[in-house]
Chain A
C-alpha cells in the first residue's frame, strides 16, 4: 500500500515538460564534456611537476659545513606511525652524536611527514621524488648511505650546533642566540 501511495506522489510531481528539459540538459552537459580536452596526464611520457613541499622520498640532509645533521635522537622513529624508521645512535670523540646506521623501510612508509616534523635538526626531510618502485621489496630498505644527500635540503643555512648542543662543537656562549657565560663571582656586591 505504501508503495502505491509513493507512486501516486511521484505522479503528482511529474511534469512532462520539466522532465524533458532536464533530460535534454543532461545530454547537453555530456556533449559539452565530450568536446572538452581530457584532463588525463599520460603518465610515463608526461609527468606532473610536484609542488616543492610534496611529500615523497625521505632524505637525510647535511648542514652547511657538510656534517651530518642527524643526531640520532630517535624522535623521527618515535613519531613514525608505522614504525618504518630504525637507527643506532653513536657518539664521536668530540661528543657529537650521529647514527651508526639509519634505515627507512619504504615498503612500510606512508609518507605522512611526521618524521620530518619531529626532527629537531632538520636532518630528515621529504623530497618531491615520488617514483620509488622496485621489483624486489628488499630494495625498498634504504640504508643511511642511500638516504644521505650532499646538500642542505630545504633550509640551507641551518646548523643545529650553532643554536644548541652546547659545549659539544664549540665553547659555551659561542652559539648564535647565546650570550657569554657570566662569571657569577663578578656579580657579587
Chain B
C-alpha cells in the first residue's frame, strides 16, 4: 500500500475536523445542558451572551482562561498538572475507532470516515475508558485534600463496579458481528440494528456508560452535595475546564459508541450517514441531560450492588442466551 501526499492531507484534514467538531460540540453540550436543565426547572437558562445565549461557551472559555491557576499547598505538583489531561485525552482518543459515516470518495481516493479502523477497536475502547479513570484517581490523590481523595476513591470503586458489566454486555455484540472492529460491527447492522437482538445488553451498556462518564445518577466521584466537587475540588481555571470538557467529550464519545454498537451506527434511510450518526449520538447526549434532570444520585453501596449483583449476572446470562441462540441458528 502506497501512501500518497493526497492521502496524508486527507488524513490530517479528517483528524483536524474531528478535533474541531468534538471540542466545539463538547463546549456547546455544556450550553445545551444548562438550557435543557433550565427548561426542566421551568427556567430559561443562559440567554444573555449573544443571540439565544449562543456565545455563552465563548464567555465561559474566556473566564476559565483568565482565572487563577491554583496549586494547593503540599499538592503533588506534577501529578496535579497531569491529571486533567489524563481525563480528557483518553476520552477524545476513543473517537479514533468510531466510524462516523460511510466511506467517501474524494478525488479518486476512498476515505473511510474513521481515523483508525483497528481490528481490536472494541478492546481499544475498553482499555482507554479504564485509563480515563486514572485522571480522576490521580487528580483526587494529587490534590492533597480530603474531598478530592474521597472523590478519587469513589471513581475507582465505581470503575470496578461498572467496567465488568460494560465489557460483558459487549460480548454478545462481538458474537453477533464476529469481529472486534467497529467498522465491521456497523456493517453487520446494515439490515437490523443490534438493539433489536440485544435489548438487555443495550440497557446494561447504557447504565454502564452513564457510570463511565460520571453522570447523575452515578456522579459519585464529584457528588457536589457531599464532596464539594469531588476529585476536581482543588482545580481552578482551565485545568478544571479540561476535566469539565473531558466529561462532555466522554458523553459524545460514549453516545457515539452506543450508536455504533447498538443503533446501527451511520446506517439510516434518506438522510446522509454523517447526519444519522450525529442525530443518534446527540439523542444519547440529550438522554443523559434529561436523566440528570430527573434522577437523584445513588448511594455508593447502591451502585456497587447494582453493578455486581444485578448487571454483571444479567450480562453473563445474556451472553449465555445469545450463545445458545446462535448455536441453534447454525
- Chain A positions near chain B (C-beta within 8 angstroms): 7, 23, 26-27, 29-31, 33-40, 42
Which residues of A sit under 8 angstroms from B44, Cβ to Cβ?
38, 40, 42
Which residues of B sit under 8 angstroms from A39, Cβ to Cβ?
42-43
Interface stretch of the complex, out of B112-120, B147-155, B288-296: B288-296
B275 interface residue (CB < 8 Å to A): no
Within B277-301, the residues touching A (CB, 8 Å) are 290-291, 293-295
- Chain B positions near chain A (C-beta within 8 angstroms): 36, 38-44, 290-291, 293-295, 305
Contacts A38-B43, A40-B44 given; does A27 touch B290 at CB 8 Å: yes
Shortest distance from the beta carbon of B309 to any chain A beta carbon, whole Å: 10
- In angstroms, Cα B42 to Cα A27, docked, is 15
- In angstroms, Cα B40 to Cα A26, docked, is 11
Task: Jot down 14 A-B pairs with beta carbons below 8 A, ordered by A.
Answer: A23-B294, A23-B295, A30-B290, A30-B293, A30-B294, A33-B40, A33-B41, A34-B39, A34-B293, A38-B39, A38-B42, A38-B43, A39-B43, A40-B44
Closest 8 pairs (CB-CB, A-B) = A40-B44, A30-B294, A34-B39, A38-B44, A26-B294, A30-B293, A30-B40, A39-B42
Is there contact, CB below 8 Å, between B290 and A33?
A: no
Which residues of B sit under 8 angstroms from A29, Cβ to Cβ?
294
Shortest distance from the beta carbon of A82 to any chain B beta carbon, whole Å: 33
- In angstroms, Cα B267 to Cα A49, docked, is 55
- In angstroms, Cα B293 to Cα A83, docked, is 46
Is there contact, CB below 8 Å, between B42 and A33?
A: yes
- In angstroms, Cα B36 to Cα A38, docked, is 11
- In angstroms, Cα B46 to Cα A40, docked, is 12
A25 to chain B: closest residue by CB: B294
Count of A-B contacts judged by CB separation below 8 Å: 38
- In angstroms, Cα B40 to Cα A36, docked, is 8
- In angstroms, Cα B291 to Cα A42, docked, is 27
Which residues of A sit under 8 angstroms from B290, Cβ to Cβ?
27, 30-31, 34
Is there contact, CB below 8 Å, between B294 and A36?
A: no
Is there contact, CB below 8 Å, between A27 and B294?
A: yes
Shortest distance from the beta carbon of A146 to any chain B beta carbon, whole Å: 33
Shortest distance from the beta carbon of B92 to any chain A beta carbon, whole Å: 29
B36 to chain A: closest residue by CB: A34
Which residues of A sit under 8 angstroms from B36, Cβ to Cβ?
34
- In angstroms, Cα B231 to Cα A66, docked, is 68
A28 to chain B: closest residue by CB: B294
**CB contact between B40 and one of A7, A23, A34 (< 8 Å): that residue:** A34
Shortest distance from the beta carbon of B324 to any chain A beta carbon, whole Å: 24
Shortest distance from the beta carbon of B179 to any chain A beta carbon, whole Å: 34
B302 to chain A: closest residue by CB: A10
- In angstroms, Cα B293 to Cα A36, docked, is 15
A27 to chain B: closest residue by CB: B294
Which residues of A sit under 8 angstroms from B295, Cβ to Cβ?
23, 26
B41 to chain A: closest residue by CB: A33
- In angstroms, Cα B42 to Cα A40, docked, is 7
- In angstroms, Cα B42 to Cα A42, docked, is 13
- In angstroms, Cα B51 to Cα A85, docked, is 46
Which residues of B sit under 8 angstroms from A42, Cβ to Cβ?
44
Q: Which of A35, A36, A38, A42 has the most CB of B within 10 A?
A: A38
Is there contact, CB below 8 Å, between B38 and A38?
A: yes
**CB contact between B39 and one of A7, A26, A27, A33 (< 8 Å): that residue:** A33
- In angstroms, Cα B290 to Cα A187, docked, is 89
Shortest distance from the beta carbon of A14 to any chain B beta carbon, whole Å: 10
Which residues of A sit under 8 angstroms from B41, Cβ to Cβ?
33
Which residues of B sit under 8 angstroms from A35, Cβ to Cβ?
39
- In angstroms, Cα B290 to Cα A27, docked, is 8
- In angstroms, Cα B41 to Cα A42, docked, is 16
Shortest distance from the beta carbon of B49 to any chain A beta carbon, whole Å: 14
Which residues of A sit under 8 angstroms from B291, Cβ to Cβ?
27
- In angstroms, Cα B136 to Cα A158, docked, is 72
Q: Which of B36, B38, B294, B295 has the most CB of A within 10 A?
A: B294
- In angstroms, Cα B286 to Cα A31, docked, is 11
Which residues of A sit under 8 angstroms from B43, Cβ to Cβ?
38-40
Which residues of B sit under 8 angstroms from A33, Cβ to Cβ?
39-42
B296 to chain A: closest residue by CB: A26
A23-B295, A40-B42 are known; give 18 further A-B pairs, CB within 8 A. A7-B305, A27-B294, A29-B294, A30-B290, A33-B40, A33-B42, A34-B36, A34-B290, A34-B293, A35-B39, A36-B39, A37-B42, A38-B38, A38-B39, A38-B42, A38-B44, A39-B42, A40-B43
Which residues of B sit under 8 angstroms from A27, Cβ to Cβ?
290-291, 294
- In angstroms, Cα B36 to Cα A33, docked, is 10
- In angstroms, Cα B296 to Cα A30, docked, is 13
- In angstroms, Cα B327 to Cα A55, docked, is 79
